[in-house]
Amino acid sequence: MGGVGSFLAAQISAVRDTIVLGPGYANQVYYSLQNGTVGTAPAAGWHLAFEIPIRAAAVRANHARGVTVYATSRDTSGWAALSLNDTTFRLYNDNCRWSVGAFNQTATPNNPFDVGWGNYNLTTHITTGDSLYIVAIGSTYKKLWIQRLQGTQYYLRTANLDGSQDTSYAVDKSLASGRAFIYLNLLTHQVLNLEPAASEWDLVFTPYLEIVSGTPYPVTGVLQNSPVRTAKVVLTSPANPDTLTPSAYAFDSCAASIGYDWKRFDMSANSFVVADTVYYLVQDERGNLWRLRFLRFEGSSTGRLVLEKALLRQATSLASRPNAGSLAVYPVPAQESFQIELPQVPFAGKLTLLNSLGQVVWQQPVEATQAVMELVRPAGLPNGVYAFLLEGAAGRWTGKMVFQ
């Protein structure tokens, strides 16, 4: 595993920690494996979350607290006439990729200019909304139009279905600089800064919506931050976890790698049971490797859980990671070769180059263990400005290249 030192010579020491979400899982708790709980925010009280990093354009919905998003058949010219009769299907957040919220699900594959709710203009750097939605907040229905993302501002418009309470918003990313998302309450009209800095947490304990046997179902579990990678390990009862060999397991960047199913409800005991042979190997953003196991989950009465963690490897060096959505490319302009600073290491995925018409002109798989990847300019590629799309298990990143 790139950037991680060898096993600690001393005997592995495990420590226990308690996480408290509160009765009814009232809070979401941000957690650092190194520092413990670093932030707590109400799980309710917000309806939409807007991605903050430069060129990032994800818009997520608070499904676990009663927010339902419907795609509609009308374009933005049909705002005044939009009704429930125009709904086509429901849209849900992607639980693996933070960069794909409910409003991003209709994006055209392999087109970095299409973000689902709108299209990015390579010349003006404005993402203009081209879709209308209906959002249900419990029994309250509102029509919604994300009009544009310009600079640091998301502009959107909402109204009741009868046209009343027509409201415009400007949600400024800079109000929560360094965070992953900024939040909006559509009923109180509040813009909320709820998260700790993105660099401060590895895991968030939270309610979220999961598709269980084909049905959307509210669950409570663990989602991991974008740079974090996890492997699930199931041992036999007498096995000693100190003998684990991390290199034998495949690590996953999916945000829901740990998820919710490390516990189950025992009907006969009327309580939750946690499997004592299930472990998770977790590599944090700094490259430290941890072993994690859940010991207790008390359910909605207290929202309390107990975990055990042990540091297996101390990072000796790890290249710094730029924020998702703001990848650096150099030199500018490039001639025969160019370099891209990767969002995480190691990285495996695909790089796509598109011209100003959105046409794919070059595509190839990429795999790297260093923070900076060098590539040779595709043969015969004319001078000009191109967009690129970098895709991996943790998300999608875009950027601009100039060749001359």
Q: How far apart are CA 344 and CA 366, in angstroms?
A: 13
* Pair (152, 55) in one structural domain: yes
pLDDT at 238: 61
83, 106: one domain:
yes
pLDDT number for residue 332: 73
**Do 21 and 76 sit in the same domain of this protein?**
no
pLDDT at res. 335: 77
For the chain, how many structural domains are there in total?
3
Instruction: Tell which of 313, 339, 359 closes a domain.
Output: 313
| Residue 395, domain member (yes or no) | yes
Is residue 318 a part of any domain in this protein?
Answer: no
What DSSP designation does 323 have?
Answer: P
Same domain, 70 and 52: yes
One domain, residues 165 and 203: no
Claim to verify: residue 216 and residue 129 sit in the same structural domain: no
**Domain range holding 380?**
329-403
Q: Nearest Cα to 276, choosing from 256, 302, 297, 248?
A: 297
Report which of 108, 101, 149 is spatially closest to residue 125, judged by C-alpha positions: 149
Burial of 190-206, coded b for 16+ CB within 10 Å and e otherwise, reads ebbebbbebebbbbbbb
Show which of 256, 285, 313 is a domain's final residue: 313
CA distance 208 to 98: 13
Asked if residue 223 and residue 103 are part of one domain, the reply reads no
First to last CA, the chain: 37
pLDDT of residue 316: 52
Give the residue carrying structure tokens 């226990």: 16
Q: Do residues 168 and 140 share a domain?
A: yes
- Determine if the pTM surpasses 0.95: no
Do 145 and 262 share a domain, yes or no? no
* CATH code assigned at 339: 2.60.40.10
pLDDT number for residue 242: 82
User: Which domain-ending residue is among 136, 165, 192?
Assistant: 192
126 and 146 part of one domain = yes
Question: Rounded distance, CA 208 to CA 43, Å?
Answer: 9
The alpha carbon of 109 is separated from its chain's Cα centroid by a whole number of angstroms, namely 18
* Pair (371, 302) in one structural domain: no
pLDDT in tens, the chain (404 residues): 333 333 333 457 899 999 999 999 999 999 999 999 999 999 999 999 999 987 789 999 999 999 999 999 999 999 999 999 999 999 999 999 999 999 999 999 888 889 999 999 988 889 999 999 999 999 999 999 999 999 999 999 999 999 999 999 999 999 999 999 999 999 999 999 999 999 899 999 999 999 888 899 999 999 999 889 999 999 887 667 887 888 888 898 899 999 999 999 999 989 999 988 899 999 998 889 999 999 999 999 999 999 999 999 886 533 333 334 456 777 777 877 787 877 777 778 888 888 877 778 888 888 877 777 778 888 888 888 888 888 876 677 877 788 87
Can you tell me the distance from the alpha carbon of 351 to that of 391, in angstroms, rounded to the nearest whole number? 7
Does residue 320 form part of some domain? no
pLDDT at residue number 200: 94
**Where are the extended beta strands (E) located within 191-336?**
191-192, 203-212, 215-224, 229-234, 263-266, 271-274, 278-283, 289-297, 304-313, 329-330
Answer yes or no: do 128 and 248 share one domain. Answer: no
Cite the DSSP H helix spans in 215-276. Answer: none
In a domain, 175, yes or no: yes
Residue 41 has a CB neighbour count (10 Å cut-off) of 18
Residue 107 domain flag: yes
The identity of residue 280, as a single letter, is Y
